[in-house]
């Protein structure tokens, strides 16, 4: 994760860094067959994607795939309500989203077989299966496959996607997801650290919100900063190749000197009514900041949920699910609905794909502690914008929500869909640091988009 002051202060040790890194230039990581899928089609590639990760696994049966006619131990405590689409229902605690159902598509048949938070999160963010359910226990290993945002970052850096004027491509906020260790799948793996998300660890709802990494080191004036960059450029001519450190340094200076980047994070400029619409809580203001980042040209924005009233409370509800979910659904409903409305009013929704999901769902039956346990076999994912056909569902679970009954979908399929909508061929080949080839995605594009866009 990018640390600008540290990069500037360590610039003098450039040679030792290159010697210690021991790996080749990033150009070797992804081969030259990174092709843009721009066949003779009217499709307009995405501008941006916002991925809202509801860490811990929300219950599909108590949100988007309710079973009002199932036995009480399945249907749970919440009532279902009608939405803006006749015949489609959702949870009573998603009333704002219910009014926007005509803008949403609910995938009700997402599934995989990983019951561990760490391995399931890796698959959700990367779109690749780990070796086993418990194989990935550590985080951010250099041999891991890059997550979707990192691949988008690399495609942009190599010219497969056009530049937006903003050097920030892949960004995550407002914290790193953690489960004993930092959850895997949050970084760029074998593509190298220059494509890690720009990580923000600050609450946008705070009156003192500030992105520390965008401030020059103490005592570094603008002329001195420019002099350092000039020196680094002269040193660049002494080496062949484009190392990770060179890309770090280049991006660091770009971020410090780019007015669009600086302005994007000035959330205090938003009118009070807009901030209130999103909700004056961490999730709501994180989603508002995500909208500002879309406007500034950031392509992939990861928003991590799992905090309630400042406490580290995630969606992993093995006990007292209905109380905990009610606490988490209220800010989610407010913030997510506000984001969709805001993007739509600003004519950004058609070009911005918004995804809300967990790493898995919850068991159909309520356990003895009033909770639901991990259930990856069938759960729901919400899509909006980016050309999605609104007001519909894709796939279906069986009558108790145990397994997919129609059109099963996997995390691999979702990753392939994101790549395709950005204009990247999901079948291109990428290579790790040893030169081993891997297909970018083995998934199939989910057919949930308007025909004029696909």
Calpha distance 172→75 (Å, rounded): 35
Report yes or no on 352 lying in a domain. yes
pLDDT for 142 equals 80
Q: Is 268 exposed, middle or buried (0-12, 13-18, 19+ CB in 10 A)?
A: exposed
User: What CATH number has the domain bearing residue 360?
Assistant: 3.40.720.10
> Who's near 92: CB < 8 A, 6+ residues apart?
78, 79, 80, 81
Q: What is the DSSP letter of 291?
A: H
Burial 309-345 (b: 16+ CB within 10 A, else e): eeeeebbbbbeebbebbeebbbbbbbbbbbbbbbbbe
218 by Cβ neighbours in 10 Å (0-12 / 13-18 / 19+) ranks as exposed
Cβ–Cβ < 8 Å for 407, 413:
no
CA distances from 425 to 29, 354, 436 (A): 17, 20, 19
The pLDDT of residue 306 is: 77
Assess if residue 232 is contained within a domain.
no
Is residue 345 situated within a structural domain?
yes
- Smallest CA-to-CA distance from 414 within 151, 125, 177, 191 is with 125
Q: Are strands 392-394 and 437-439 parallel, antiparallel or unpaired?
A: unpaired
State the total domains in the chain: 1
What is the mean pLDDT of each successive set of 10 residues along the chain, which is 454 residues long? 40 38 38 43 80 98 98 97 97 98 98 95 94 65 90 90 90 92 91 91 94 65 56 54 56 68 93 98 97 97 78 86 96 98 98 98 98 98 97 98 98 98 94 87 95 52
Angle 185-194-292 (CA atoms, 0-180°, nearest 5)?
Answer: 80
- pLDDT for 23 equals 37
Give ∠ CA 68-73-74 in degrees, rounded to 5.
45
In a domain, 146, yes or no: yes
User: Token pair for residue 390?
Assistant: 């609104």
Rounded Cα gap, residues 229 and 8, in angstroms = 9
| Per-residue CA distances from 134 to 43, 114, 118, 130, 131 (Å) | 40, 8, 8, 9, 8
Buried b (16+ CB within 10 A) or exposed e, 76-107: bebebeebebeebbbbbbbbbbbebbebbbbb
Query: pTM for the whole thing?
Result: 0.87
Question: What pLDDT is recorded for position 30?
Answer: 41
> In sequence order, what are the beta bridge partners of 397?
404
* Within-domain flag for 255: no
Q: Is residue 26 part of a domain?
A: no
Q: Cα–Cα distance between 412 and 266 in angstroms, integer?
A: 36
Tokens 């900041």, residue located: 289
Residue 248 lies in a domain: no
First-to-last alpha carbon distance for the chain, in angstroms, is: 35
Structural domain includes residue 253: no
Q: What local confidence, expressed as pLDDT, does residue 228 receive? A: 55
Give pLDDT, residue 286: 98
Range of the domain at 150: 33-222+269-453
Of 383, 447, 441, the residue nearest 52 (C-alpha): 383
3 state SS of 349: coil
């Amino acid at each position: 994760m990018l640390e600008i002051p540290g990069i500037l202060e360590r610039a003098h040790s450039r040679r030792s860094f290159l010697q210690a890194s021991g790996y080749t230039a990033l150009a070797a990581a992804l081969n030259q067959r990174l092709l843009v899928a721009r066949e003779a089609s009217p499709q307009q590639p995405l501008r941006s994607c916002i991925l809202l990760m509801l860490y811990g696994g929300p219950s599909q049966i108590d949100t988007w795939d309710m079973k009002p006619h199932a036995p009480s131990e399945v249907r749970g405590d919440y009532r279902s309500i009608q939405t803006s689409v006749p015949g489609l229902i959702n949870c009573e605690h998603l009333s704002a989203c219910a009014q926007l159902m005509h803008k949403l598509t609910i995938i009700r048949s997402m599934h995989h077989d990983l019951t561990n938070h760490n391995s399931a999160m890796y698959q959700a963010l990367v779109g690749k299966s780990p070796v086993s359910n418990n194989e990935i226990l550590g985080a951010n290993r250099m041999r891991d496959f890059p997550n979707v945002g990192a691949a988008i970052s690399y495609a942009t850096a190599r010219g497969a996607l056009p530049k937006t004027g903003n050097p920030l491509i892949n960004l995550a906020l407002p914290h790193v997801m953690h489960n004993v260790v930092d959850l895997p799948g949050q970084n760029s793996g074998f593509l190298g650290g220059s494509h890690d998300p720009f990580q923000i660890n600050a609450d946008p709802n705070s009156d003192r919100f500030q992105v520390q990494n965008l401030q020059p080191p103490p005592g570094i004036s603008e002329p001195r900063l420019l002099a350092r960059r000039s020196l680094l450029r002269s040193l660049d001519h002494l080496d062949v190749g484009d190392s990770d450190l060179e890309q770090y340094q280049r991006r660091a200076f770009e971020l410090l000197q780019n007015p669009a980047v600086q302005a994007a994070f000035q959330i205090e400029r938003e009118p009070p009514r807009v901030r209130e619409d999103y909700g004056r809580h961490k999730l709501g203001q994180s989603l508002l900041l995500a909208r500002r980042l879309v406007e500034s040209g950031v392509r992939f924005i990861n928003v991590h949920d799992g905090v309630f009233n400042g406490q580290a409370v995630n969606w992993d509800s093995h006990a007292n699910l209905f109380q905990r979910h009610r606490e988490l659904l209220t800010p989610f409903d407010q913030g997510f609905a506000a984001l969709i409305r805001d993007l739509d009013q600003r004519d950004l929704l058609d070009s911005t794909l918004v995804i809300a999901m967990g790493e898995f769902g919850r068991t159909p039956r309520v356990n003895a502690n009033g909770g639901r346990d991990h259930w990856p076999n069938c759960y729901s994912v919400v899509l909006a914008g980016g050309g999605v056909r609104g007001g519909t569902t894709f796939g279906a679970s069986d009558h108790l929500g145990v397994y997919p009954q129609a059109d099963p979908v996997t995390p691999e399929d979702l990753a392939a869909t994101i790549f395709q909508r950005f204009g990247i061929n999901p079948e291109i080949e990428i290579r790790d640091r040893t030169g081993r080839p891997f297909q970018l995605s083995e998934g199939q594009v989910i057919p949930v988009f308007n025909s004029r866009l696909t």
